[in-house]
Structure 1
């Protein structure tokens, strides 16, 4: 088969799931580890988000009168980088390293405070979370078709949060930060391929990774009221979620390949609890939590024009996480369309690029929210938001 002659692994050269539900920013694919022979790659992506909605703002002269106003864009554009290195040390044994940034967010939102406003009105939010993953893999190939692999993931996590609001003429701020916290998880999987038919499929499980960072909290008020000015430093538990990835590709004609991915992420178990705000409450106060697990899928087709050029296009769907509309979750699920391709500069060196458009569906509007990110500010309505992601990759086989 012509397509198989180029050693194509379609799932790795499209931009991929660069934006998805909850805090996910990467699909955590291990496709680079399943490349033949020795292999190295570098990739980067720019995610340009346009996410906004509407909220109810009280009139400065008549606080009982509300006006629906449009919010600014919630999310700043951000960059994602990945790198991978794989060595085929023996026909039956391989080693690999993969660096990625699986979970991240950068939310910024502000409305000028008014003289008097309801107790639950949030006027400004800044929320930034970053994770960095380094995964070490070892694989055993009893024959050219099967690959059994396992490994460890070293992950760091840090977070910064500020929520500001005004109630009864008092401007109150809540601030929380974590020290960068390292933790270790594991993964395991199995792959099967028939190279002459460009057939390759893999199933990978990643464990949750439990972080216990030092969590620094502070509340302050203007004008200053001592009972509202509090501080707390405690260790909390933040578990980045377990996940399952199924990836598949197969030649359907000598120059055409169909490929797909299916990913499940256990977001229902993810919580970020505030010890300071929970101290006077009968139940813990969740700063961030999600109502359901995420399921996302991609289906695409690639066409091999010649020994240098291959192009592909795909469609995708994400089930969302079911949270009511807030500045943390203005959209729920999405549909996506991507197009990309790669050019072989030499038989063992290629450059790939792609662009993916995400159409974000509206989250359900609930004015009387409790939990599920409601501390970030309730939305009265949401827009049909969108995201455009641009990806670039350099791959080298040796």
Structure 2
């Protein structure tokens, strides 16, 4: 006969694990969208603070020619991953022995990257040097104009073949683009590429238990999500997009959650499968694309009026509304007693990041001329994310428990976006919980991450950076309250 462990002596051990379960994951995933607060017994509340510090560094590409995708190791890129923190809150109560309600708050998706130093992700103000780099060393600020004029003349020479005229026109266009890129870069001289994405979720959950011993539970509810973002692309690495800026105004929209759980208290077994829906945001976005305005001014006649020049320059700015959809996800949470003081756990998470894209209207419209009717997305991923974490917790005394975890994240593909150049990770974590009294407890934990190497890639498929041998760590602290509820 299988031994009976009972859940009560193991509760302290289970809680020691949850503080170390947060992670720096694939795509924009941050909190892991944990719902275990709702799965606790009785009346339960928690407040969790998490701090993440990652070190992501590498090398830029010495190849700055916009229409050449080959990677050549260039200058050192210092740590681009900004440290950041977030909170998670949860409260859950039983209405009776069948129904439970809960409210959860977390910050599920985010990004924080900032480039600095002497590399191609930081804008320089030297037009001459930039033109030399953009033309592969063939021309500089003093000679490029003469070459553009020469090629333009060839393109108009009717004594030449159509192929010769077309090749000359393409050459003149490429050189004119290089000049436009250099001017756009100079307009943001000294600024580095920067991205910040933040989100907030509030989830309301209603659960209903059923079965002979109330061992099954179905649960679900609405999710309110707030999303905002700021992106600055700087330096020669971004080619024509150098100087691009986007601000996404905070937007709130709604989705839903649904799941099912099973428990067997006599062996401390709990299992839960949770699905979260996509959430569609129709957000206001302000974009600035300097090369668009520079090109429009350059096409004006010599006698253009100041009003015409101002209107042409303004064509590089646009305020509009666009749709961005945060992804659906599936979480599986499992725990079972090994003996009277030891608990084993497993977490599995799936997020289809390959379906996710950020497609700002102006950025996308500009790219349609060169990359087809669908244009390009600013951010996209090739693969879906799989995340697995295994843990063990040990109750050392009635008040103290320790835990350990190991984890793996598949990443969302390599090469990946230069705004988050990490391809998954391996992790190891430790946690502890101490019961202050019968109801109150404090937990603390940490996790060390070994990031997967990744190439930084533009939406055009040009490799602009190589990021290897990177790591990071996570620290967290939690205050929790739990009390029995009797309905007899």
CA distance in 2, matches of 1:70, 1:34: 47
Q: Closer, same or farther in 2 for the Cα pair 1:67/1:31, shift >3 Å?
A: closer
Which of 203, 206, 228 is equivalent to 1:138?
A: 206
- What SS does the corresponding residue of 1:90 show, helix, strand or coil? coil
Contact 1:260–1:299 (Cα < 8 Å) also in 2: yes
- CA RMSD after TM alignment: 2.6
Contact 1:52–1:330 (Cα < 8 Å) also in 2: no
Q: Closer, same or farther in 2 for the Cα pair 1:36/1:150, shift >3 Å?
A: same
CA distance in 2, matches of 1:270, 1:7: 38
Which of 82, 98, 110 is equivalent to 2:104?
A: 98
How does 1:171-210 map onto structure 2 within 5 Å? 172-210=242-280
Cα distance, 1:219 vs structure 2 = 2.1
CA distance in 1, matches of 2:287, 2:123: 23
Unaligned runs of 5+ in 1: 60-65
CA distance in 1, matches of 2:101, 2:318: 44
CA deviations over 1:327-380 (Å, ceiling 9, x no partner): 3232202100000110011122110010100100112577xx5447x6xx710x
CA distance in 2, matches of 1:160, 1:181: 13
Cα distance, 1:152 vs structure 2 = 0.8
CA distance in 2, matches of 1:159, 1:41: 28
Q: Closer, same or farther in 2 for the Cα pair 1:223/1:138, shift >3 Å?
A: closer
Across the two proteins, how many residue pairs are aligned to each other? Answer: 385
Partner of 1:153 in structure 2? Answer: 223
Cα distance, 1:97 vs structure 2 = 0.2
Question: Who wins on radius of gyration, i.e. which is larger?
Answer: 2
Q: Closer, same or farther in 2 for the Cα pair 1:289/1:256, shift >3 Å?
A: same
Cα distance, 1:382 vs structure 2 = 1.9
Which of 265, 271, 274 is equivalent to 2:351?
A: 265
Q: Closer, same or farther in 2 for the Cα pair 1:112/1:173, shift >3 Å?
A: closer
Contact 1:6–1:307 (Cα < 8 Å) also in 2: no
- What SS does the corresponding residue of 1:286 show, helix, strand or coil? coil
Contact 2:10–2:342 (Cα < 8 Å) also in 1: no
Q: Structure 1 or 2: larger helix share?
A: 2
Q: Structure 1 or 2: larger strand share?
A: 1
How does 1:297-336 map onto structure 2 within 5 Å? 297-336=388-427
Q: Closer, same or farther in 2 for the Cα pair 1:246/1:11, shift >3 Å?
A: farther
TM-score (norm 1): 0.90
CA distance in 2, matches of 1:98, 1:306: 30
Partner of 2:41 in structure 1? Answer: 36
CA distance in 2, matches of 1:255, 1:166: 58
Partner of 2:92 in structure 1? Answer: 86
Which of 48, 53, 59 is equivalent to 1:48?
A: 53
Which of 338, 362, 377 is equivalent to 2:453?
A: 362
Cα distance, 1:170 vs structure 2 = 10
Contact 2:44–2:92 (Cα < 8 Å) also in 1: yes
Which of 32, 46, 57 is equivalent to 1:27?
A: 32
Cα distance, 1:179 vs structure 2 = 1.4
Cα distance, 1:295 vs structure 2 = 0.3
Unaligned runs of 5+ in 2: 65-71, 117-121, 135-177, 186-190, 298-311, 484-488
